[in-house]
A and B are shown apart, each in its own frame.
Chain A
């Protein structure tokens, strides 16, 4: 009923730059209210019943926004939310300028020559600490990969956090250790397949996670219970 009353955002986005066409959302880059922004637009899935689809899409949008806010309050950098349109399911987000993904950063350290071990360990420790804080806040990211972690380049302010977590599209709030375990499991799979010969590095990440999180022992136990994972570790 209300849908047709809100063509403003889709109309505006028809002139924005599409940077990613995903299975459930399109991501655009644009300028909005005078700032560079990223807009994430969830679109209807035709194979689902419209009312159900609307409900699920609304819930995903709400969860994404809630997770971002909860992270920021805990000191984990995530893009600022500027505006949410719950009719056309658009989230207007801060564009993280001059950043590179942790994925590209690790790859370039691995390619370069000397003293790379320390730099890699720094990254692993940062990720471990951030995920520990995030899980202590009961935020489950849902799609942890090194592409969804950005590093701000050339920060002048030494007090500012340098790592930014993005794409909370599959995130939700949960206190269950198994949900956190699966979150880490998803990262482990992505990490080891993206970055060759990083088993020891990922172990370090987990160790830092365990040391930084107040509730990590149950989570690590759950992570170890995922059978394939136990196999690949030993």
Chain B
């Protein structure tokens, strides 16, 4: 697991867990929809890095605090924030998990001492947990570049992650 504290919201921690060879994606997705899993289930092939998730979580908490979330829960807001567009259903389609998926990134926001919740959710996943940093090896960069409309010109100014983060951070005003 990778757990990080958010500087702006010191009472919150973000935990990311990455699973490969997942056999029960459909069941997990249903549990999340039914509210039995209190976390965001993200499609790791659309992620460039764990940092991207951290940026989305920070923004979600910020919008929650000021009452300006675009979706109904903190977890759906995290998924929405990952997307470059303001289309909510498209964000879920691309960045949420689908029934046949073989890998899942589980994202949890919790207070300091909730290791029980973290391990309870981990136990629901029928798959192989791997280090979160491995998410970069699962990235579908061609698909990511297409969805975020990243051009070769822009890649001269920085990494694909830079381009993705910039889109996420500015999508509400462009």
Give A35 to B127 CA distance when docked, in angstroms: 31
Give A76 to B170 CA distance when docked, in angstroms: 17
- Which of A9, A68, A83, A161 is close to B55, meaning CB atoms less than 8 Å apart? A83
Mask for A73-106, Cβ within 8 A of B = 1, else 0? 1111110111111010000001000000000000
Give A74 to B65 CA distance when docked, in angstroms: 34
Asked if residues B156 and A159 are in contact (CB atoms below 8 Å), the reply is: yes
- The answer to whether the Cβ of B99 comes within 8 Å of any Cβ in the partner chain is no
Contact A5 to B67, CB < 8 A, known contacts A72-B166, A84-B169: yes
Interface range on chain A (Cβ under 8 Å from partner): 20 to 34
Asked if residues A66 and B169 are in contact (CB atoms below 8 Å), the reply is: no
Asked if residues A76 and B157 are in contact (CB atoms below 8 Å), the reply is: yes
- Which of A6, A34, A73 is close to B66, meaning CB atoms less than 8 Å apart? A6
Asked if residues A33 and B67 are in contact (CB atoms below 8 Å), the reply is: no
Give A75 to B154 CA distance when docked, in angstroms: 5
Interface secondary structure of A, over-half rule: mixed
Residue of B51, B67, B169 ringed by the most chain A CB atoms within 10 A: B169
Give A72 to B170 CA distance when docked, in angstroms: 12
Asked if residues B66 and A87 are in contact (CB atoms below 8 Å), the reply is: yes
Q: Find chain B residues with CB under 8 A from A6 CB.
A: 62, 65-66
Asked if residues A9 and B173 are in contact (CB atoms below 8 Å), the reply is: no
Q: Find chain B residues with CB under 8 A from A84 CB.
A: 169-170, 173
Asked if residues A77 and B158 are in contact (CB atoms below 8 Å), the reply is: yes
Give A25 to B32 CA distance when docked, in angstroms: 43
- The answer to whether the Cβ of A23 comes within 8 Å of any Cβ in the partner chain is no
Give A156 to B165 CA distance when docked, in angstroms: 23
- The answer to whether the Cβ of A47 comes within 8 Å of any Cβ in the partner chain is no
- The answer to whether the Cβ of B112 comes within 8 Å of any Cβ in the partner chain is no
Query: In whole Å, how far is B63's beta carbon from the nearest beta carbon of chain A?
Result: 10
Contact A5 to B66, CB < 8 A, known contacts A12-B8, A33-B7: yes
Asked if residues B153 and A33 are in contact (CB atoms below 8 Å), the reply is: no
- The answer to whether the Cβ of B4 comes within 8 Å of any Cβ in the partner chain is yes
Interface, chain B (partner A; CB < 8 A): 4, 6-9, 51, 54-55, 58-59, 62, 65-67, 151, 153-154, 156-158, 162-163, 165-167, 169-170, 173-174
